[in-house]
Structure 1
């Protein structure tokens, strides 16, 4: 036969209450930490990943355009250098 000890029952209730309080305090601390971290990130003015990826793609397009413009600008200079009639100028008679 099992007997109920009121002292042990009260101790069990107290322990259960303390564990609930500790768990609630832990969740509250976690929420406060998350809020502080969010505030810190907002103050740092960081860029989100999707914005970074869009900017990275735009820079790649601009670099390709610059390379194409450089290639187009250097192509006439190379083509014109071989067909020039005065490529080899005669020596100066003065000196």
Structure 2
């Protein structure tokens, strides 16, 4: 009798092992199908990948920094031009008028 119950238990264990293997195979198939469907849906929505987003974000930050530096440089140059124009105007205003007049 022990031989018969061992045989039944062995068959049952083999059946469960096969069922577990089949379940893993089904799980892999479902995961693959789900991933493919998710990729198709994301491609249809025209979603940007994370790497591309980060690259464009870094480019935008760099452009912003360059823009701020150029703005500061322009303001400094405009200030220099304004100072040069004011000092030039002051020099021409401070010169004495010529005392030589033409006689009639």
TM range (shorter): 0.5 to 0.7
The alignment's C-alpha RMSD in Å is: 3.2
Deviating beyond 6 angstroms after TM superposition, the runs of 4 or more aligned structure 1 residues are none
Rounded to whole Å, the distance in 1 between the matches of 2:70 and 2:10 is 84
Structure with the larger RCO, 1 or 2 (CA within 8 Å, 6+ apart): 1
Name the one with the larger helix percent.
Answer: 2
Match of 1:3 in 2: 3
Q: Which has the larger radius of gyration?
A: 2
With normalisation by structure 2, the TM-score equals 0.56
Structure-2 change in CA distance of 1:60 and 1:10 (3 Å): closer
Structure 1: tracts of 5 or more residues without a match: 87-95
Structure 2: tracts of 5 or more residues without a match: 91-104
DSSP 3-state at the match of 1:4:
helix
With normalisation by structure 1, the TM-score equals 0.59
